[in-house]
Structure 1
Amino acid sequence: MVRKKKRKYPVSGRSVGENALLVPEVRGEWPDWFDLIERQQELEPIVKAILDGAVGTVRLLVKQPGCNLLTANKDGWIPLHEAAYCGQDQCIKILLRAQPGMVNQRTLKWKTALMLAVAMEHLACVESLLENGADPDIANVERETPLYKACEKENPAMVAMLLNYGASVNKNCIQGWTALHESVCRNNVEICEMLVKAGAKVNMPNMYGITPIFVAAQSGKVDALRMLLKNGADLNSQAADGATALYEACKNGHEDVVEFLLSQNADANKPGKTGLMPIHIAAQRGNDGIVAMLIPATSKARVRRTGISPLHLAAERNRNDILEILIEAGFDVNATLSEDHSMMYEDRRSSALYFAVMNNNIDATTMLLEAGANPNLDTFNPLLVALRQGCVQTVTLLVQHGANVNAYIPTHPTIFPAAVMFCMKYLTLLKYLMDNGCDALSCFSCVYGSNPHPPIKTRRNVRYDVDETTENTCIQFCEVISTETYSRWAGPIIDVLLDYVGHVKLCARLVEHLDSYHEWQGIKEKSMPPRPLMQLCRLKIRKLLGINRLKKICKLPVPPRLIKFINHQEREREF
């Protein structure tokens, strides 16, 4: 006979009868109908009578000499467990009159008849069992007591009954939760107050140091929170990881809880073991309402001591609204990450501006720069990040606010500015950097000069890892431009650079590049001395004026043609 595949429904692990199918418990799988019929036939007569609610039959069977009320099935269930589970309170009374000593017998999972009755919310059964001596403190395998289970079911009548029969109110489950933890989590104030009146400890932690007030804040239960504080709960207690109730409320975005906690003078300056304070986590999660509430209660000095600003976290997660609020509140836009926090990033970033540029977030970059952010604080200059991304708008913003166009990468030393290397494919950007003071002359400095050059070594892509071992010699411009990535751009790149230098001598490798294309012969001739006098004068004027004054040259009383010449705008270029 081919049997049907087993269907996964929550059921009791006990013998299955007709009534048992109506109120399943999570214990295993439903057998198919063939198995149900087969097992129904295997049931003890008294179990069948209990499942069918045949009280008269049960009364007759317990009087028979051969009836053993302690016979258990494979899961350790005796007839009393069946009666409690199915809500047969009259059967319970009959069974306990016949053999009262079995009232606290447990199944293989340590469940007493009382626990089963509570789990199924059979109040009459619970009362019958308690009246007949059931111990209300015997826990199941998870160390949950009947009182805990009654709180889980949110049944105040059952909780009251168990407490009246002396249930221990502070017993905890395997994870350390008490009945009060469970009731707070469910925001059942009525049950919470019953437990507190019965002696529940409002500051009792679970195995992770979490107290009921922490649970209320974490789950957004304002009513339970108010009740706990009224009964003496420690507002600023910390869990094992150092988190407070306020921190958890901020983390989970419960604005009403945060507002209430702050109104009760919750400490907004307690960092957890990660070093983060409530305002940090609120900025990271992007809740501008919570951040606005926390700002007046947060000490900027305490924030500085954490080694990380909420500005960093807001910029990292592109929380522009939060960034704006924090900037308006006076948080330092030039705050840098501590060494410990900076080491968590491969590029050793340190400023909030770096995060904004890395995310290509132009709005955030603009806000930070206009608020006074220094674009030159990081080991790897944010300008280099923007150049590598090819974002003209970000590059322009950074340069206008004083970014160092001659920045180098300390871990990858080069003879020439690293900015040149990152914009070789973007000649418009290269010219823009030159116009703003980038050092073009260093690109023509070569230790080999006109002598033969050694073969080009295959190099990895330039990265910025401070832990990487650096080479003793600096990388030269002719080496970089000779790589497969840039060699086809060599002529136009050299052409742009020549506009910003005086007398230079091209090294053998650069000459070799210019000789490789007939179209580049004019560029080679352009480099040969003597350079035009007008070019040398232009360089001298630019040097004397300086970059800052050159930016204002349009306001000088000089002919427009001269201004265009000084700014290298005398002829159109197409790249």
Structure 2
Amino acid sequence: MAAARVSMPGATDSNLEFADYSLYSNLSDDELMQLAIERSIADAQNSEPGTENSKTPVVLNRPAGPRRAPPSHHPQQQTEPAACPANPPRYSLMGFIQTEMSESSFFFRELEPIVKAISEGDVGSVRLLVKQPGCNLLKPNKDGWIPLHEAAYYGQDQCIKIILRAQPGMINQRTLKEQTALMIAVTREHLACVERLLEKGADPDIANKEKETPLYKACEKENPAMVAMLLNYGASVNKNCIQGWTALHESVCRNNVEICEMLIKAGAKVSMPNMYGITPIFVAAQSGKVDALRMLLKNGADLNSQAADGATALYEACKNGHENIVEFLLSQNADANKPGKTGLLPIHIAAQRGNDSIISMLIPATSKARVRRTGISPLHLAAERNRNYIVEFLIEAEFDVNAMLSEDRSMMYEDRRSTALYFAVMNNNIDATTMLLKAGANPNLDTFNPLLVALRQGCIQTVTLLVEHGANVNAYIPTHPTTFPASVMFCMKYLTILKYLMDNGCDALSCFNCVYGSNLHPPIKTRRNQRYDPDEVVEKACVQFCEVISTENYSRWAGPIIDVLLDYVGHVKLCARLTEHLDSYHEWQCIKEKAMPPRPLMQLCRLKIRNLLGIKRLKKINRLPVPPRLIKFLNHQEREQDF
């Protein structure tokens, strides 16, 4: 070892010669680090302006030529030498210590002589070092790397030849990450090293910690020459990685047809599934690789194979919006009526994702009978996701607008919704609601009437649409019985909507039929956190109108609400609780007087005429030769300015 020149503090023009760095041989790693830091700080202080620098940096056996940082040994295997890591690999205490002052101080241990020679491509030095008695080619560093791994990493095929001549039995030795020299050379794409190792008997099927083989890595790198070389040396083509992925899966995912064909010629199974049942054809459809897909089908892949969750290649292509893949699969007669474990067909997922081009391709290939058997229509999914253009497509294709969710699917929703119309109304989607109603959707099929949803939202436009298309204005909630229509309860804060319902035949008289009459009413029971439960069998007492109007939410509106209702009834008697409300505000006394018998004859005549004509005829009354004033009177329009 070359002598080190050391300038010691306090010594002037004197040099100490050492045959080794024995001055520091008794120091631990931490002590060496501390010494280097102290020297660096002292030198920095002495080099300040106005200060005489009597010390020079300590340099122990600085090698000639440019410095090289040790390689960073990690799974990614960087293609270029990395910057000095925070904790460089440790090879031996016989390494070298170097400190350097720049903007900050760095301290690292250099490589062992043979590793340094390998990294610099110094074949002559390697040849000499392996012959020395003290050179241990099997001694690993902290990452389990031996010089053979270093030679594979740096692409030094001649160094590999020299090392294996000296120690041929180490050829398949692994690092702590279970990488062989062959795996490292493939990962770094050093073709000459790969060839050298294979010639010397390297096993091409030894996998790393993730169960990836060199062949798998070569496919990942998309290196046909390396793939061909590994196959020529007998690499197993169907070996699985940790999740069952094969080299063919990887090549298909990268759409590398050349490598795919090489693998298939070598015996790769085109329909081999991974641990999730995913075959290469599924991978091609999922990732949109049409060239690889064509190649797989040409080589006998099963077009309709299903993954563990029942999904087919067509389903996955629809899910990911690959229009070209869907078009190609359908041209090859892919089954569009094959459901997955969820029961959904490709057209369902396409409707959910909102791809109109894919929908247009699937409609001719999809059986409406099979759609019915799934218990859900694509219209449901399109309406749920507000895919209006898909709703329009499906209506034009004559999908049933009144299709009902199956019982098990309906139970997934707390309100037990069943129709596509309900989804549209729930989303307050007026366009979809209009399209469905015009196409013949029945607004009275759901357990919880869509009209009640629209009333709760206070959307007069949706309410009008539903009522005009026959929605039941006297809708009730079967699981929450009331003595009056639930539709009244949901629009008490919207007097205009309440009047609209009354004009269209809503039952106002039931609001005044109180079982307690003029007697003392029992206290109102507050109900909080009640959940909708259609299966609840506990008998419930019907809720009275006077109970609802007495709640905090509606009591302030009691007078105007009663006033509107009185216009649509004849002789009624206010119960004690309603009277109490009207007595609570002086301004409401006129409403109380309005309810007192006898009711005006004109009011009774209006009710009688309306009852005889019926709602449908009243809507067409403008076409009859009747005086406009009478029409206005029959339609309760004489007080319109009040609302």
TM-score range, shorter chain: over 0.9
Q: CA deviation at 1:68?
A: 1.3
| 1:221/1:32 CA distance change after superposition, 3 Å | closer
Is the Cα–Cα contact under 8 Å of residues 88 and 109 in structure 2 kept in the other structure? no
Q: CA deviation at 1:465?
A: 4.0
How do 1:419-430 and structure 2 match up within 5 A?
A: 419-430=487-498
Is the Cα–Cα contact under 8 Å of residues 73 and 143 in structure 2 kept in the other structure? no
Secondary structure of the equivalent of 1:111? coil
Which residue of the other structure, out of 299, 304, 320, is the alignment partner of 2:372? 304
Is the Cα–Cα contact under 8 Å of residues 444 and 450 in structure 2 kept in the other structure? yes
How do 1:373-412 and structure 2 match up within 5 A?
A: 373-412=441-480
How do 1:199-218 and structure 2 match up within 5 A?
A: 199-218=267-286
Which residue of the other structure, out of 499, 513, 516, is the alignment partner of 2:567? 499
Partner of 1:416: 484
Is the Cα–Cα contact under 8 Å of residues 455 and 490 in structure 2 kept in the other structure? yes
Is the Cα–Cα contact under 8 Å of residues 19 and 52 in structure 1 kept in the other structure? no
Which residue of the other structure, out of 348, 363, 367, is the alignment partner of 2:435? 367
Which residue of the other structure, out of 426, 439, 443, is the alignment partner of 1:358? 426
Partner of 2:76: 26
Q: CA deviation at 1:537?
A: 1.4
Q: CA deviation at 1:61?
A: 0.7
Is the Cα–Cα contact under 8 Å of residues 237 and 266 in structure 2 kept in the other structure? yes
Is the Cα–Cα contact under 8 Å of residues 180 and 206 in structure 2 kept in the other structure? yes
Q: CA deviation at 1:548?
A: 1.1
Secondary structure of the equivalent of 1:62? helix
Partner of 1:315: 383
Amino acid at match of 2:187: A
| 1:393/1:84 CA distance change after superposition, 3 Å | same
Gaps of at least 5 residues in structure 2 are 1-33, 39-66, 90-96, 99-106
Which residue of the other structure, out of 554, 560, 573, is the alignment partner of 2:628? 560
Partner of 1:546: 614
Partner of 2:363: 295
Partner of 1:189: 257
Q: CA deviation at 1:456?
A: 1.8
Give CA deviations for 1:229-262 in whole Å, capped at 9, x if unaligned: 0000000000000000000000000000000000
Is the Cα–Cα contact under 8 Å of residues 19 and 51 in structure 1 kept in the other structure? no
Which residue of the other structure, out of 178, 187, 198, is the alignment partner of 1:130? 198
Secondary structure of the equivalent of 1:209? coil
Is the Cα–Cα contact under 8 Å of residues 19 and 86 in structure 1 kept in the other structure? no
Q: CA deviation at 1:472?
A: 2.0
| 1:281/1:558 CA distance change after superposition, 3 Å | same
26-35 vs 435-444, greater mean Cα deviation: 26-35
Secondary structure of the equivalent of 2:372? helix
Partner of 2:44: none
How do 1:250-265 and structure 2 match up within 5 A?
A: 250-265=318-333
Q: CA deviation at 1:32?
A: 5.3
| 1:461/1:77 CA distance change after superposition, 3 Å | closer
Larger of the two Rg values belongs to structure: 2
Secondary structure of the equivalent of 2:278? coil
Q: CA deviation at 1:33?
A: 6.5
Q: CA deviation at 1:457?
A: 1.8
| 1:227/1:34 CA distance change after superposition, 3 Å | closer
Partner of 1:95: 163
Secondary structure of the equivalent of 1:460? coil
| 1:148/1:52 CA distance change after superposition, 3 Å | same
Is the Cα–Cα contact under 8 Å of residues 23 and 86 in structure 1 kept in the other structure? no
Give CA deviations for 1:438-469 in whole Å, capped at 9, x if unaligned: 10011001111000111222223776443567
| 1:572/1:34 CA distance change after superposition, 3 Å | closer
Partner of 1:109: 177
Partner of 1:140: 208
Amino acid at match of 2:410: S
Cα separation, 1, equivalents of 2:108 and 2:85: 12
How do 1:457-468 and structure 2 match up within 5 A?
A: 457-460=525-528, 464-467=532-535
| Corresponding position: 1:178 with 2:246 | yes
Cα separation, 2, equivalents of 1:106 and 1:449: 93
Q: CA deviation at 1:88?
A: 1.0
Cα separation, 1, equivalents of 2:353 and 2:538: 39
| Corresponding position: 1:332 with 2:382 | no
Amino acid at match of 2:514: C
Cα separation, 2, equivalents of 1:492 and 1:22: 81
| 1:20/1:261 CA distance change after superposition, 3 Å | farther
Q: CA deviation at 1:572?
A: 3.0
Which residue of the other structure, out of 100, 105, 126, is the alignment partner of 1:58? 126
Amino acid at match of 2:68: E
Cα separation, 1, equivalents of 2:608 and 2:87: 101
| 1:423/1:144 CA distance change after superposition, 3 Å | same
Is the Cα–Cα contact under 8 Å of residues 72 and 85 in structure 2 kept in the other structure? no
Is the Cα–Cα contact under 8 Å of residues 482 and 543 in structure 2 kept in the other structure? yes
| 1:47/1:240 CA distance change after superposition, 3 Å | same
| 1:462/1:257 CA distance change after superposition, 3 Å | same
Cα separation, 2, equivalents of 1:102 and 1:33: 30
Cα separation, 1, equivalents of 2:137 and 2:200: 16
Is the Cα–Cα contact under 8 Å of residues 409 and 418 in structure 1 kept in the other structure? yes
Partner of 1:286: 354
Partner of 1:7: none
Bigger relative CO (Cα 8 Å, ≥ 6 apart)? 1
Give CA deviations for 1:71-107 in whole Å, capped at 9, x if unaligned: 1112111110111011111110110111111111111
Is the Cα–Cα contact under 8 Å of residues 136 and 166 in structure 1 kept in the other structure? yes
Q: CA deviation at 1:19?
A: 6.5
| 1:462/1:501 CA distance change after superposition, 3 Å | farther
Secondary structure of the equivalent of 2:359? helix
Q: CA deviation at 1:532?
A: 1.3
Aligned residues: 562
Cα separation, 1, equivalents of 2:226 and 2:77: 23
Which residue of the other structure, out of 159, 182, 185, is the alignment partner of 2:227? 159
Cα separation, 2, equivalents of 1:66 and 1:304: 80
Is the Cα–Cα contact under 8 Å of residues 184 and 221 in structure 1 kept in the other structure? yes
Amino acid at match of 1:207: M
Cα separation, 1, equivalents of 2:142 and 2:336: 56
Is the Cα–Cα contact under 8 Å of residues 241 and 272 in structure 1 kept in the other structure? yes
Amino acid at match of 2:284: A
Cα separation, 1, equivalents of 2:607 and 2:494: 23
543-552 vs 417-426, greater mean Cα deviation: 543-552
Is the Cα–Cα contact under 8 Å of residues 252 and 289 in structure 2 kept in the other structure? yes
Secondary structure of the equivalent of 2:131? coil
| 1:352/1:116 CA distance change after superposition, 3 Å | same
Cα separation, 2, equivalents of 1:463 and 1:385: 16
Partner of 1:239: 307
Is the Cα–Cα contact under 8 Å of residues 380 and 464 in structure 1 kept in the other structure? no
Cα separation, 1, equivalents of 2:408 and 2:522: 42
Give CA deviations for 1:166-214 in whole Å, capped at 9, x if unaligned: 1110101010010000000000001001101111100000000000000
Cα separation, 1, equivalents of 2:274 and 2:85: 42
| Corresponding position: 1:43 with 2:93 | no
Secondary structure of the equivalent of 2:109? helix
Is the Cα–Cα contact under 8 Å of residues 379 and 410 in structure 1 kept in the other structure? yes
Q: TM-score, normalised by structure 2?
A: 0.85
Cα separation, 2, equivalents of 1:34 and 1:276: 54
| Corresponding position: 1:444 with 2:512 | yes
| 1:34/1:136 CA distance change after superposition, 3 Å | closer
Give CA deviations for 1:343-399 in whole Å, capped at 9, x if unaligned: 111111110000000000000000000000000111110000000000010000000
Cα separation, 1, equivalents of 2:529 and 2:557: 18
453-462 vs 252-261, greater mean Cα deviation: 453-462
Partner of 1:530: 598
455-464 vs 156-165, greater mean Cα deviation: 455-464
Cα separation, 1, equivalents of 2:191 and 2:155: 8
Secondary structure of the equivalent of 1:535? helix
Is the Cα–Cα contact under 8 Å of residues 352 and 378 in structure 2 kept in the other structure? yes
